Amino acid sequence: MNLSLKVWRQKNANSEGKFQQYDVQGISEDMSFLEMFDVLNERLINEGESPVAFDHDCREGICGMCSMYINGEPHGPNKGVTTCQLHMRSFKSGDTITVEPWRAKAFPIVKDLAVNRSAFDRIIAAGGYVSVNTGNAQDANSLPIPKDNADDAFMAAACIGCGACVAACKNASAMLFTSAKISQLALLPQGQAERTMRAEKMVAQMDVEGFGACTNTGACEAECPKGISLENIARMNREYYGAVLSSK
């Protein structure tokens, strides 16, 4: 396959960025989108140019590092996959593909397509944890958990923190991410100790970081590679209103 790429190049957070056009030839349709970038970068390095910076790690859809905004959609055109799982067979030879970084005030650009997502870490640090006592783990059966809650918590816990929800949202809102992190703990007995303060603090941190307010467009859910449901945002809203009314 031969493709024409329009890639956002930006030296660092403070410099002006611009699109650069690259023509890549001989791409196999079995390559992943990132492997196609590896081919391009190898060539750029050989030509003495600086390679395109992009985040990646596991390359199997579980770490949440890869983050490319491809032809107007985070993680590209396919549903339920990350950029590393997107294969070139989803494109046609001769296509022009526009690749941008996640764009949000709360995700400053580090270089080219790599953005700083530490705002997510600070949201988690604000309350996305449980107090665990030291000592032996207790018998799992001593903590009865309704099957529905276990399933919902598990589905929320599937969030890999990639930030595609923020990238997709017209308001750059982090509510799908934050709500998944609040939900996975609020639904389980282990999460009850910090439940009230968790909702208050994580929402407050989310606002401090400069993410927008949700308009319920559903773009996040549609673009999330892990299919995190909007039900989590409704749950976060309940958790938050309940928390501010009951906390001391």
Nearer Cβ to another protein (38/200) = 200
CB of 193 to ligand HEM, least distance (A): 31
Spatial distance between the Cα atoms of 62 and 60, rounded to a whole number of angstroms:
6
Binding of ligand SF4 by 119 (CB under 6 A): no
Q: Residues 145-184 vs ligand SF4: string with x where CB under 6 A?
A: --------------xxxxxxx----------xx--x----
Paired residues of 202 in beta bridges? none
Give the shortest CB-74-to-ligand SF4 separation in angstroms: 7
Secondary structure (3-state) at 17: coil
Query: Distance between CA atoms of 59 and 57, rounded to whole angstroms?
Result: 6
Tokens encoding 175: 């509510």
Distance CA 76, CA 152 (A): 27
Cβ contact 211:119 at 8 Å: yes
83 versus 173: smaller Cβ distance to ligand HEM: 173
**CB closer to ligand FES, 159 vs 187:** 159
Contacts of 157 (CB under 8 A, 6+ apart): 180, 184
Query: Which of 8, 2, 36, 6 lies closest to 22 in space, CA to CA?
Result: 6
Scanning 116-124, 137-145, 186-194, 240-248 for contacts with another protein by CB under 8 A, the matching segment is 240-248
When CB distances are held under 5 to 8 angstroms depending on the partner's kind, the choice from ligand FES, ligand SF4, ligand HEM, none that residue 9 binds is none
Cβ 106 to ligand SF4 shortest distance, Å: 13
Binding site for ligand SF4 (CB under 6 A): 159-165, 176-177, 180, 224-226, 228
